[in-house]
Amino acid sequence: MSIVRNAQGKEIRAKNKGFFRTLFSQWQLMVMSVPMLLYVLLFNYGPMWGWVTAFQDYKPKLGMLGSKFVGLKNFEWLFTRQDFINSIRNTLAMSVINLVFGTVSSILLAILLNEVRNRGFKRTVQTVTYLPHFLSMVIVVGMAQNIFSSNGAVNALLMNLGLVREPVFFLGEGKYFWWLVGVINVWKEVGWNTIIYISAMTAIDPCLYEAASIDGAGRFHKIMNVTLPGIRSTFVILLIMNIGHLMEAGFEIQYLLGSSVVMDWSQTIDVFVLQYGISKQQYGVATAAGMFKSIVAIILLVSANAISRRLGEDTLI
Amino acid sequence: MKKFLAAFLALAMIASLLPAALADGGLEPITLTVFRGDPGDQPDENNKIYKLIEEEFGIKFEFEFLAGDLDETLGLKIANEDYPDLFDGGNSADLIINNGALINLLDYISPEKTPRLWAHIEPQKARIIEKDAEGNDVLYIIPNYGLGEGEQIANEINGPAFFVQKQVLEWAGYPQIKTLNQYFDVLEKFLAANPTDENGSPYIGFDILCEDWRHFCLINPVQHLMGRPNDGEVLVDVSTPEYKTETFIDKPYAKAYYKKLNEEFHKGLISKDTFVMNYDQYIAQISSGTVLGMFDQTWDFGNATNALRTAKMDNKTYIALGLVYDPEYVDGKEIEEHYLNGSVPNIRRGFGISVNCKCPERIIAMWEEMLSEKWQLIFNWGIEGEDYYVENGRLLMTKEQFAQTQDSTWQKANKARAFFESSPKRQGWILEGEFAGNCWEPGNQPEIYFDQMTDYDKAFLSAYGYQKPADFVNPPIQLAPYGEAWQIDYTPVDIEHQDFLNIQDKRLPEMIMCDPAEFDAKWDAFVEEITPSATAFGDFMQQAILKEAAKVDPNVVLPE
């Protein structure tokens, strides 16, 4: 932080100079960061002005200046509704399931791929597993609806194996919905999420493996004692980032796969906002729900970061 | 190369200026943006009807069709004030009207300025022209359908009914099916005798579509079983000027229907998958010819019917039945069936002109001209000699000409559906001029309707001794003075209404699938859960119906 190079490439010590002198001596860097700063101000902070509508009975005809202020009424409306409470529960539940399933499956696959010595096979598996990432959710859900329907492949398999006597109603019973979303997400994203772990593994010094071999470690021991500790910091950073996204359980999959029969289990905050906020022109309520989501996300992110720092791990901020 | 490029660019520029120079009449050519509140097909670039419009009026269209959910799309357009010139809000036009997106057409329409448009709406103006909050007369949308001329044409049931594949009735020896029990009885017997079709695919006894706004297949039947045409989600007693209105879904007579469905579910007539099916899957299932029956509205599965016809499965197309409750379900009362209603002006459905439109006069002038016989024939019948012919004053089409009008690929190049469907149009009978006595729409023209019916359908109807499919139900009754209650704008109780619908969507399938021993307890819980929103919605509808009826019926007393 204290050592920078000036335009001529000469190292200068900035530590003891004043803030403005430092600023001036690094003017090239400042200039370069201006577009980013503008971008963030314009697109991330500018729209926050719209949060005002969370406290209004907002009518597009009257605009933000003409609409009536109603205090916390929008929040009150939200939190007295059982289905909003349900949608918070569903959002968190599906997020946690996605996080656990997603992380475990991608680390497992990355380790398996890392152990494969045949490069052709490794590449093929990698390509095949990350291809679904590029499919639109509409297609994925359409396939899932076929596979999990009463006369679909999964039920046919279960019946032929004699595990169930009657087809399981996967798509129409609330208790299956969260897990179904988890499974579909794993199928779609496992290959993609693996990429980052594989790259972390390639950065591990081969000497460590050699040293472990000399010490008599087998394959399993090498995985436990070299590979896993080697990707720990990547894992922690990703975990913190994902915790910040816990309030985003996804929107498309629940919207497409859900039906009225499983509404109590499928509705996430985003779907709720769409149904009661946008469709019913309660823009104030929609903003209130969005604001609630952002605030919870910030709290989660900061606390995850703090816990990680306590434990002496890498931190994001 | 550079020279060539320059020459090419110059040519392109000249070419782009040409149409402007060619458009005559001093009208500057314009392109109108158009939104349609339902899915549709973009017309071909060289569509011949749009070409004619461009030549005569200097107006081109740029269509946007609905993709996804209507209320969400409109909600976003309203929030961004991103309005097209011609704005069709589909079934949710109330939203755009209440948010001030449309202009009041009465500023442009009057008996002097626009005699044709005025004559078109005049007979129904008591219901079409409404009052806004300040008490001024307003008209935002000229109804796209239902302003028929002459006697009402009812060859087919185009609205709600219980449907059954014709082969089921044929197999059963053409019985008369008039009640709920008879209907499920014949379905059960057919299914027991024919579990699969000729290809080995299993038949499905009864389908119930529950997706999004199409859940009317699940929640609307009870009112019809009680002997009323389509009033949406309320049952109205039209015999007295009090027009007593109630939500029906929470009443004991509704329980009978869902209990019957529960029985049929356990007999295997209804599949679980029907409750999680989306519209496309539903249409695919019907198109495959394996669905024996369902409650729906004819227009809702038109594509499936076309597919069945194309696949030459006429015996698997549907006939609409008007069922009522058996007396045992309603304390021994005999219910008279009324599925067909008097012709209903499709109020607040069709194109409105948005506040963002820069040239409302041009659009009004165009509609005025288009209500002439010449243009109505172009839209409905096409180009004389090409799409239809005239013989002794009769408008006629050959079999091939009529068949191609049903073909969606042909329509893209030769029909102006996207524009015409939402525009004001004349329907019913041509009453004056050289073509008096013909029908405005080819499908209704007796020569075409009866002669071009397939042989299977002719044989099917004659086995019953009927002329037309509508003979299966009673003739239309007189339209109630409030119209049909589903047209009423319920945005003031939007949230309660949404809750009211959500509870039905959740609980009704649950009850249909539950253990019969638990049914009664579940029903009671459902009634308790739905009562608050049902009461709010029902009370609102009672007031709204009285207000609506008072416009035409002087006997109605409006409560204070």
CB contact under 8 A, B509 and A172: yes
Tell me phi and psi for residue B160, to 5 degrees: -75, 150
CB contact under 8 A, A283 and B215: no
Is the pLDDT reported for residue A302 higher than 60? yes
Q: Give the pLDDT mean for A210-236.
A: 92
User: Rounded to a whole number, what is the distance in Å from the CA of A39 to chain B's nearest CA?
Assistant: 22
Which member of B75, B215, B276 has the closest CB to residue A281? B75
Which residue from B minimizes the CA distance to A259? B276
Residues A26 and A123 in one domain: no
d(CA A36, CA A59): 33
A257 lies in some domain: yes
CB contact under 8 A, A60 and B99: yes
For residue B408, name the pLDDT band (cuts at 50, 70, 90). Answer: confident
Residues A261 and A296 in one domain: yes
CB contact under 8 A, A260 and B509: yes
d(CA B218, CA B223): 12
The predicted structure's pLDDT at residue B452: 83
Residues of B with Cβ-Cβ distance to A61 under 8 angstroms: 99-100
The 10 Å Cβ neighbour count of residue A98 is 24
- Decide if A278 touches B, using CB distance below 8 A: yes
Query: What residues contact residue A303 under an 8 Å CB cut-off, 6+ apart?
Result: none
User: Rounded to a whole number, what is the distance in Å from the CA of A128 to chain B's nearest CA?
Assistant: 29
Residues of A with Cβ-Cβ distance to B79 under 8 angstroms: 60, 278, 283
CATH number, domain at A181?
1.10.3720.10
Residue burial B214-228, b: 16+ Cβ < 10 Å; e: rest: ebbbbbbbbbbbbbb
Task: Residue window 179-218, chain A: list those with CB within 8 Å of chain B.
Answer: none
The predicted structure's pLDDT at residue A179: 96
- Decide if A84 touches B, using CB distance below 8 A: no
Superfamily classification of domain B160-339+488-550: Periplasmic binding protein-like II (3.40.190.10)
Query: Position of tokens 């009257």?
Result: A62
Tokens coding B534? 């049902």
Residues A59 and A84 in one domain: no
Pick from A30, A45, A71: which residue ends a domain? A71
Q: Give the pLDDT mean for A215-240.
A: 91
Residues A39 and A17 in one domain: yes
- Decide if A245 touches B, using CB distance below 8 A: no
Residues A38 and A111 in one domain: no
Residues of A with Cβ-Cβ distance to B272 under 8 angstroms: 150, 167, 169, 172
Percent of chain A with pLDDT over 70: 93
CB contact under 8 A, B276 and A60: no
User: Rounded to a whole number, what is the distance in Å from the CA of B273 to chain A's nearest CA?
Assistant: 7
Query: What residues contact residue B123 under an 8 Å CB cut-off, 6+ apart?
Result: B147
Give the tens place of pLDDT for each residue, A248-300: 888 999 999 998 889 999 999 999 998 888 888 888 999 999 999 999 999 99
Give the tens place of pLDDT for each residue, B155-188: 999 899 999 999 999 999 999 999 999 999 999 9
- Decide if B398 touches A, using CB distance below 8 A: no
Task: Residue window 74-93, chain B: list those with CB within 8 Å of chain A.
Answer: 75-76, 78-79, 81
Tokens coding B107? 């500023």
Q: Give the pLDDT mean for B541-547.
A: 94
- Decide if B270 touches A, using CB distance below 8 A: no
- Nearest CA to B86 out of B20, B45, B142 is that of B142
A185 lies in some domain: yes
The predicted structure's pLDDT at residue A8: 52
Q: Among 3.30.1360.120, 3.40.190.10, 3.40.10.10, 2.60.40.1890, what is the CATH number of B20-152+345-448? A: 3.40.190.10
Tokens coding A26? 């690094």
Residues A154 and A91 in one domain: yes
The predicted structure's pLDDT at residue A14: 47
Is the pLDDT reported for residue B371 higher than 80? yes
Q: What is the pTM of this model?
A: 0.84
Which residue from A minimizes the CA distance to B101? A61
Residues A188 and A219 in one domain: yes
CB contact under 8 A, A279 and B69: yes
Residues A171 and A296 in one domain: yes
pLDDT, averaged across chain B: 92
CB contact under 8 A, A172 and B275: yes
Which residue from B minimizes the CA distance to A167? B272
CB contact under 8 A, A83 and B502: yes
d(CA A208, CA B263): 69
Q: Looking at the 3D structure of chain A, how many domains does it have? A: 2
User: Rounded to a whole number, what is the distance in Å from the CA of A280 to chain B's nearest CA?
Assistant: 7
Residues A194 and A230 in one domain: yes
The predicted structure's pLDDT at residue A10: 52
Q: What is the span of the domain harbouring residue A155?
A: 74-310
Residues A31 and A116 in one domain: no
The more confidently predicted of residues B392 and B6 is B392
Residues A306 and A166 in one domain: yes
CB contact under 8 A, B495 and A276: yes
- Decide if A259 touches B, using CB distance below 8 A: yes
CB contact under 8 A, B495 and A274: no
What single-letter DSSP state applies at residue B335?
Answer: P
- Decide if B272 touches A, using CB distance below 8 A: yes
Pairing of strands B291-297, B245-247: unpaired
Spell out the domain ranges in chain B.
20-152+345-448, 160-339+488-550
- Decide if B100 touches A, using CB distance below 8 A: yes
- Decide if B271 touches A, using CB distance below 8 A: yes
Pick from A36, A71, A106: which residue ends a domain? A71
Tokens coding B152? 């009402």
Pairing of strands B389-391, B130-131: unpaired
Pick from A71, A93, A117: which residue ends a domain? A71
A42 lies in some domain: yes
CB contact under 8 A, B210 and A264: no
The predicted structure's pLDDT at residue B21: 44
A300 lies in some domain: yes
Is the pLDDT reported for residue A4 higher than 60? no
Give the tens place of pLDDT for each residue, A19-66: 888 888 888 998 999 999 999 999 988 888 889 999 999 888 788 888
Which member of B276, B494, B498 has the closest CB to residue A259? B276
Residues of B with Cβ-Cβ distance to A282 under 8 angstroms: 495
For A103, B84, B370, the CA distances from A63, given in Å and listed in that order, are: 44, 20, 38
The predicted structure's pLDDT at residue B12: 57
The predicted structure's pLDDT at residue A299: 93
- Confirm whether B20-152+345-448 and B160-339+488-550 share one CATH topology: yes
Which member of A61, A150, A274 has the closest CB to residue B271? A150
For residue A1, name the pLDDT band (cuts at 50, 70, 90). Answer: very low
Residues of A with Cβ-Cβ distance to B78 under 8 angstroms: 60, 281
Residues of B with Cβ-Cβ distance to A261 under 8 angstroms: 210, 275-276, 505-506, 509-510
The 10 Å Cβ neighbour count of residue A139 is 11
Residues A56 and A144 in one domain: no
A221 lies in some domain: yes
- Decide if A279 touches B, using CB distance below 8 A: yes
Percent of chain B with pLDDT over 90: 77
Residues of B with Cβ-Cβ distance to A83 under 8 angstroms: 502
The predicted structure's pLDDT at residue B16: 53
Give the tens place of pLDDT for each residue, A134-143: 999 999 999 9
Pairing of strands B30-36, B245-247: unpaired
Give the tens place of pLDDT for each residue, B250-277: 999 999 999 999 999 999 999 999 999 8
Our measurement of the distance from residue A61's CA atom to the centroid of its chain's CA atoms, rounded to an integer in Å, reads 36
User: Rounded to a whole number, what is the distance in Å from the CA of A57 to chain B's nearest CA?
Assistant: 13
Note whether B320 and B161 are within 8 A (CB): yes
For residue B7, name the pLDDT band (cuts at 50, 70, 90). Answer: low
User: Rounded to a whole number, what is the distance in Å from the CA of A274 to chain B's nearest CA?
Assistant: 7
CB contact under 8 A, B72 and A274: yes
Residues of A with Cβ-Cβ distance to B510 under 8 angstroms: 261
